[in-house]
């Protein structure tokens, strides 16, 4: 019986050794897979971080480019606005100078030898009214004002200009 018990024990020991070997192989495979998975996740994490950094760099460069372009456009607008302001100032200076020259110029009365004094005054007023109408209709005045629906410029030299503007508007 002792030899039978020894045989049974040996069979159990052999079976346990086989089970142990099989379990050890499974463990080694699982450990190798775990290490491989851990290395794989580390590599993929590094790649993800690099791509994220690259994306952030691209976004930052794009924002810098946009900011630079916006700054250039703002400078262009400032320059254009300055140029327009300068042009308007020059035009205003010119108009003021012309107005000053005209106000200094003595009024010359053109009288015909047989024409009464009242007719010469009427002729002079008619010429001034015509001149005022031409100034009111001038596109340069509208251009300076910014739009054509603005209030017309009333010249101190043209007392009947408002009435003339209305009659000129009705005529067209």
Question: Domain residues of the chain, as ranges?
Answer: 48-79, 138-172
Contact call for residues 134 and 161 (beta carbons, < 8 A): no
Q: What is the tens place of the pLDDT at every residue in 124-148? A: 555 565 565 555 444 444 444 444 4
Q: Does the pTM of the predicted model rise above 0.75? A: no
Distance CA 165, CA 43 (A): 84
Q: What is the DSSP string of 38-83?
A: HHHHHHHHHHHHHHHHHHHHHHHHHHHHHHHHHHHHHHHHHHHHHH
Give the whole-angstrom CA distance, residue 62 versus residue 59. Answer: 5
Nearest to 154 by CA among 146, 164, 144: 164
Average pLDDT per run of 10 along the chain, which is 172 residues long?
A: 87 97 98 98 98 97 96 88 87 91 71 51 56 51 44 48 50 49
pLDDT on residue 127: 59
């Amino acid at each position: 019986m002792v030899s039978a018990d020894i045989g049974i024990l040996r069979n159990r020991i052999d079976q346990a050794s086989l089970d142990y070997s099989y379990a050890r192989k499974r463990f080694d495979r699982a450990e190798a897979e775990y290490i491989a998975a851990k290395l794989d996740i580390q590599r993929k994490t590094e790649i993800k971080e690099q791509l994220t950094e690259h994306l952030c760099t691209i976004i930052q460069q794009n924002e810098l480019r946009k900011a630079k372009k916006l700054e250039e456009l703002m400078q262009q607008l400032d320059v254009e606005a300055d140029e327009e302001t300068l042009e308007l100032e020059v035009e205003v200076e010119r108009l003021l100078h012309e107005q000053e020259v005209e106000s200094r110029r003595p009024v010359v009365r053109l009288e015909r030898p047989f024409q009464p004094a009242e007719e010469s005054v009427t002729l002079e007023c008619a010429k001034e009214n015509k001149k005022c109408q031409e100034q009111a209709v001038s596109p340069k005045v509208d251009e300076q004002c910014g739009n054509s629906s603005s209030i017309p410029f009333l010249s101190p030299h043209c007392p009947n200009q408002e009435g003339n503007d209305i009659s000129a508007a009705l005529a067209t």
